[in-house]
Amino acid sequence: MIKVGIVGGTGYTGVELLRLLAQHPDVEVEAITSRSEAGMGVSEMYPNLRGHYDGLAFSEPDAERLGHCDAVFFATPHGVAHALAGELLERGTRVIDLSADFRLRDADEWANWYGQPHGAPQLLEEAIYGLPEMHRDKIRKARLIAVPGCYPTAVQLGLLPLLEAGLIDPSQVIADCKSGVTGAGRGAKVPSLLAEASESMKAYGASGHRHLPEIRQGLGDAAKGQVGLTFVPHLTPMIRGIHATLYGQLTSEPGDLQALFEQRFADEPFVDVMPAGSHPETRSVKGANVCRLAVHRPGNGNTVVVLSVIDNLVKGASGQAIHNLNLMFGLDENAGLAAPALMP
């Protein structure tokens, strides 16, 4: 059995890790940390996990105890993994970070977007960006994984085939994205209250969002050059889910776009290219580690529209983290992740 630890287990991504790992045949959760809830039993905080983690309690973060794990997940705010990741790597423990700490390759750019100096710039060169559909071979050999953000996952998967094939103008890419309220985290915030978020929708971060440089970096890798991206996120009155509507301008006759997408993702267990003319719904991926895509060419014109949906807590976070774990330890990629989505 692979022994894992979870740092920051009381947030939405932490409990989602616990839920998914409860059905993983090859993993045992050895430690879970929370400074604020140290001593509380996991099943006491999360009754849905009763019978799965009844002997496990939250504890203070301790590098020595975590260092006995084969891998440690960081389900923490940005800046936390900086302090512990290096020490754990020295002890031989692999690190899978769900925060933004190691996603950007440029430490100065990270500092600019996150408002503080990067705490572990010496580790950036080693960190592998954990989007399996792009970096599967590197992930298998990695010690340190930067799990992609939720918006970046939905946007990159939707645009990869077009940019890799050189079919759209990389300087004119638009990502119009909507997210459920869990994307804001579990902390108590007035904009996340039911009376504030229900029956309303709003854009935010239109002039600059922290996920923008991450998306540009990944799309630039696919396009092998700079990408001009307009990215506007929106908050929608739902709990889970991301819907990304993506626009690109064709530079030449593209041929069969449906076939392009189907061939690009034919061997990907967690990307579902839907039949031509489809409009994927966020409810179709709720609780599942799946990205569902549909590609359209309205009026047979010069604009390509890609629709991409994921569960922000699963394919956009914890499920993708476990997919990385499976690759790192040579396990079946589907282990712990095979459950279908919840409907209704």
Residues involved in catalysis = 150
Whole-angstrom distance, CA of residue 319 vs CA of residue 324: 9
Q: CA-CA distance, 16 to 289, in Å (whole number)?
A: 11
79 neighbors 100 (Cβ within 8 angstroms): no
Nearest to 97 by CA among 136, 64, 126, 58: 126
Give the whole-angstrom CA distance, residue 178 versus residue 96: 26
3-state secondary structure of 292: strand
**Please, is 195 exposed, middle or buried when counting C-beta atoms within 10 Å of its C-beta (0-12, 13-18, 19+)?**
exposed
For residues 169 and 182, what is the distance between their CA atoms, to the nearest angstrom? 33
CA separation for the pair 157, 310 (Å, rounded): 10
211-223 vs 150-164: helix crossing angle, rounded to 10: 20
Q: d(Cα 304, Cα 246) in Å, to the nearest integer?
A: 8
Distances (CA, A) of 28 to 3, 23, 24, 69, 338: 5, 10, 8, 10, 18
| Three-class SS state of 155 | helix
